[in-house]
A and B are shown apart, each in its own frame.
Chain A
């Protein structure tokens, strides 16, 4: 007789947690910490995982000469191994008011849990930072190991949206409190009029590969508006009058796509990546299909 395993967190199903155990974050560049970890660094190291051969140079450690090859070829070749270093996974969760629309914030919390679990399972240092909140900077301190999973879940379950701080200022605040190299997973709608280019540059300069995941609701991807309207910004309460909104939808889509292309370009120029997900899309599809196909999760 088998008993059902209790649900660890309402954010992720146990089945999804099991599937995440076989995956890890596909960081393109190897911004890693010096401390040893399970993440393979770009440079050669002393791990047990073979990497390559190279010609022997005087002064090299003779312990790494492959004597079997020397006996056949009568020339010394050195065996090289991967250097396993620790990767810092910083998850930046946008909690501004704009994230309250639709299922955006719910999906953002779930994705934060996904990236956190991926990091912890891979033995990386994982920290979660809430950006966009009016309150002082809140974060889940960097932690490693599977034992940090439950604190991660508890932290994310208690988070609520409602701040009015722009995402770029939130990133600056995060960088003031952050040390370590790795990846910065930014979960936001990126609907900010601020200088996001500078924010990405700061991340890059701090040794963090920006992985910008834009979460938009269907109302933002394809607004259903018509007639004369007074649009009110949820964060700033600023109003904007528009007439014959339906006639402006083409322009809206044009500007939205341009905005996304601009963000993608800024990220790409800083060794980062960018993509947009629909908050109405299921987490399973986003995590195990969309992000895997784009190489964010491998």
Chain B
């Protein structure tokens, strides 16, 4: 127990005039009696005149003294000291990510509602001199208020807080708190969250965190992936993945697919925690389509935002390839791949060994036997045999491509002192190395993805190797991806579209759907913060219960004063 305004104890001196005025101005009912003789003797008795005897069972005076004592106590602003540390400035970080909309039961409170309740409790128990700052964070953070003791402003800001259907990024919230720390001195930050964020935070802690993890929500299943790949027949194979939370109860559900608002297909699925069933739908690619996937669960579902997802599909047209007739090996390899059209204009893929085509625009380009003009000072090609030393097997172009058994008769030679970093500085990535210089370069920019084969394949054994059709197939796949003809992926919610459905954005976050809760947050400096088992109880101001008691006493005293007395 402590007092915020101990100086108000001087008001207790008012007890003295109260007692004096009470006995001076006591309104006594008159009662005529035969004689005062006996009463005079009674009042003259020493026992009656002993100290404090006049106060004994003097209910009205007792009530007034008690009333004044309560008012003085309330003015001293007492508070009940709890285990939570008292700080003058306290930022409160409130998680507003998608998982905070999860509920225990249908119609029950969301995690955000619980967080608001705890924040409101902090506001209600705000002591004089204390200031709070509310910060909401989801994938980004924003300060709802500055440091203020204005409870109305804090409550209003809290009421306007809504969930954003985006994954959580605790680091942004902590960085905002750190930025506030430059103007205000505080040692602790309260974190109200369901714990659904990465367990490791790339952040240097400069303050303590009171991590108050909210109770776990109920069972949840949701759509975590919604994409499409073009099938060989010119149609789209649409994939929908459904996942659930670890504590989810097994259930059955229906997955409905709507094309341009019309039901296209429905699949029944059996859901269980840990399983991630992947549904496949075939959608014709004759025209661009707007797809909508809906998950209808036969049972409780904690989170509604992940039960719907949107996907925009372009029309499935063939890939346009521009390759000179002189490059017969390429044309043979491309002919084996279906769904291609050879044309000189508006090509999605340009394959050339002609320096005149260097300025030809195409989303995906592949030049052979040419040196990028930007690297002309760094390397040169010599008509000498070259040997493939190493290559990036994880590069899109070289996946499953074996170059080690190919003989190459052109040799790219780097200038003296030129290293791989020199190419990287000019925007080129070496994906195949020769003994004296690079053999294959990859260049990516906004306009196009360009692959530079620094040797002429006609002067190599590559066309006769199995690696060549695979390389061509990888190149075509890259061109299809670049042109948006191979796959389509749903747009996820984010800063521009924070709500599901806004701009046809979808949540599609396995982390948010899982409703996983982090018990311990690990920070860079090997510090970790563990969730509190129960919310720390804050100091509780006691002035209002005292004021309430004083008011009740006032009513009792008024009633007693108004009660008629026996009169003569």
A225 and B37 in contact, given A240-B43, A242-B43, A248-B42 (Cβ under 8 angstroms) = no
Q: Is the CB of B58 within 8 A of A243?
A: yes
- Bound-state CA distance A220–B45 (Å) is 19
> Is the C-beta of A72 less than 8 angstroms from some C-beta in chain B?
no
Q: Which residues of B contact A104 (CB under 8 A)?
A: 34
- Bound-state CA distance A89–B56 (Å) is 51
Q: Which residues of B contact A230 (CB under 8 A)?
A: 28-31
Quick one: CB contact mask for A216-248 with B, threshold 8 Å, 1 for yes? 010110011111111111111011111110111
> Is the C-beta of B568 less than 8 angstroms from some C-beta in chain A?
yes
Count the B residues whose beta carbon is within 8 Å of the partner chain — how many?
A: 29
Q: Which residues of B contact A235 (CB under 8 A)?
A: 34-35
Q: Which residues of A contact B502 (CB under 8 A)?
A: none
Main secondary structure of the interface of A (DSSP, over half): mixed
> Is the C-beta of B54 less than 8 angstroms from some C-beta in chain A?
yes
- Bound-state CA distance A236–B40 (Å) is 13
Q: Which residues of A contact B41 (CB under 8 A)?
A: 255, 259
Q: Which residues of B contact A244 (CB under 8 A)?
A: 56-59
Q: Is the CB of A234 within 8 A of B31?
A: no
> Is the C-beta of B416 less than 8 angstroms from some C-beta in chain A?
no
> Is the C-beta of B527 less than 8 angstroms from some C-beta in chain A?
no
- Bound-state CA distance A189–B32 (Å) is 16
> Is the C-beta of A296 less than 8 angstroms from some C-beta in chain B?
no
Q: Is the CB of B35 within 8 A of A191?
A: yes
> Is the C-beta of A101 less than 8 angstroms from some C-beta in chain B?
yes
Q: Which residues of B contact A99 (CB under 8 A)?
A: 34
- Bound-state CA distance A232–B566 (Å) is 14
Q: Which of A220, A229, A236, A255 contacts B28 (CB 8 A)?
A: A229
Residues of A77-101 at the interface with B, using a CB-CB cut-off of 8 Å, are 97-101
Quick one: CB contact mask for B279-305 with A, threshold 8 Å, 1 for yes? 000000000000000000000000000
> Is the C-beta of B565 less than 8 angstroms from some C-beta in chain A?
yes
Q: Which of B33, B42, B43 contacts A232 (CB 8 A)?
A: B33
> Is the C-beta of A256 less than 8 angstroms from some C-beta in chain B?
yes
A233 and B35 in contact, given A224-B566, A251-B45 (Cβ under 8 angstroms) = yes
Q: Which residues of A contact B36 (CB under 8 A)?
A: 231, 233, 236, 238, 240
Q: Which residues of B contact A255 (CB under 8 A)?
A: 38, 41-42, 45
Q: Is the CB of B42 within 8 A of A252?
A: yes
- Bound-state CA distance A252–B48 (Å) is 11
> Is the C-beta of A6 less than 8 angstroms from some C-beta in chain B?
no
Quick one: CB contact mask for B43-85 with A, threshold 8 Å, 1 for yes? 1010110000010111110000000000000000000000000
Q: Is the CB of B37 within 8 A of A251?
A: no
- Bound-state CA distance A212–B57 (Å) is 38
A240 and B34 in contact, given A226-B566, A232-B568, A247-B56 (Cβ under 8 angstroms) = no
> Is the C-beta of B179 less than 8 angstroms from some C-beta in chain A?
no
> Is the C-beta of A192 less than 8 angstroms from some C-beta in chain B?
yes
Q: Is the CB of A189 within 8 A of B38?
A: no
Q: Which residues of B contact A259 (CB under 8 A)?
A: 37-38, 41
Given contacts A225-B31, A240-B39, 10 further A-B pairs with CB under 8 A are: A227-B29, A228-B26, A232-B31, A232-B32, A241-B26, A242-B43, A243-B58, A246-B57, A247-B57, A255-B38
11 A-B interface contacts by CB (under 8 A): A104-B34, A226-B565, A230-B29, A232-B32, A233-B34, A235-B35, A240-B36, A243-B26, A243-B54, A244-B56, A259-B38
Could you tell me which B residues sit within 8 Å of A by CB distance?
26, 28-43, 45, 47-48, 54, 56-60, 565-566, 568
